[in-house]
Amino acid sequence: MNGSSDAEVSSSVDESSQSCNGTNGVVETPLPAMPSSIKPGNLKLWLPPEMASCSTAHPDEVMKKLTREEHSWTPCPGRAFNVRSGPNYASTGTKRPSEHSLYDVVAIDGYRSDQKLPHIGRVMLLPEDNEAAGLGLPPHLIINFMVPNYAPGIIGGKKSDGPGWNLVMQCRLSDEAREAIRKGEPSPAIELARRFMHPEEGRKLRKERLKCIFGTADVAEPGFNVLTRQLIQSYNFKPFLSKTASSFYNVPEVRQTPRLAACGCFWMRSLTEEFGCGG
């Protein structure tokens, strides 16, 4: 994403203690009060012809050669990531570019908030997707990366809530995944996603097997100071397991068919704490 939105979502503690299906199981927890609705897509989608037509060059290399538009985002194809390739990965260690993504990013937004907003998906205006009924996967996936903007507590324990930023991605179950399911030919990745999102079967997977990979292609361009640049380079494109820094929510339809899966990730906490600027 190039740039960020200046939108702000105000919040306060809702004393009615709303319930949600969150974390790795079902948890009753108070949630911040929020606006009645949020319309996705405040950041502009920028898809240059060079990105739309490139098939062999790595997307990162193509993007670095372009004059990018500020405050915009560009879809990243699945093949930009190398994934484990079987069989016998344990002995060969072979990785290759990924196939099509299971979910396509269709909108990205940036918000500031006074408190953590882990379940922001409950107030997002999403299109109905009746054709996804019976596919066994939610048609929408909302991912919210929460970045704290407060100093950690020194006296009285760690501070765990306060103002910060939210990078929110709205994703749609891809056409390729839908077609494979309809044909009765779901890939191992689809079956794994089904197990991961299942309320009971996926509990252990969500708790112990959520792997994240973040990559910055242009570390030198933004003008980071030496310390920040070294920090980014140390973690750049390195996978890590997120066992305690994420929570999951399911928004069912009337017939209990999942309409939305939402994931809130407190992924910056450990990094910012190293420099005394997060919590």
Integer Cα distance of 143 and 263 in angstroms? 5
Q: Tell me the torsion sign for CA atoms 126, 122, 201, 88.
A: positive
Percent of the chain with pLDDT strictly greater than 90: 7
Please give, one letter per residue, the 3-state secondary structure of the chain.
Answer: CECCCCEEECCEECCCCCEECCCCCCEECCCEECCCCECCCCCEECCCHHHHHCCCCCHHHHHHCCCCCCCEECCCCHHHCEEECCCCHHHHCCEEECCCCCEEEEEEEEEEECCCCCCHHHHECCCCCHHHCCCCCCCEEEEEEEEECCCCCCCCCCCCCCCEEEEEEEEEECHHHHHHHHCCCCCHHHHHHHHHHCCCCCHHHHHHCCEECCCCCCCCCCCCCHHHHHHHHHHCCCCEECCCCEEEEEEECCCCCEEEEEEEECCCHHHHHCCCCCC
Mean pLDDT of the chain: 73
What's the confidence (pLDDT) of residue 247? Answer: 79
Question: How far apart are alpha carbons 198 and 205 in whole angstroms?
Answer: 10
Task: State pLDDT tens for residues 22-79.
Answer: 444 433 334 445 555 677 777 888 887 777 666 677 777 888 788 878 888 888 888 8
Average pLDDT over residues 147-161: 72
Average pLDDT for residues 12-24, to the nearest whole number? 36
Burial of 143: CB neighbours in 10 Å, binned 0-12, 13-18, 19+: buried
Per-residue model confidence (pLDDT) at position 13: 32
Tens of pLDDT, residue by residue over 86-130, are 788 889 989 888 888 899 999 998 888 888 877 887 778 878 787
pLDDT at 179 over 90: yes
Lowest-pLDDT range of 76-90, 166-180, 224-238, 248-262: 248-262
Residue indicated by tokens 């009746």? 130
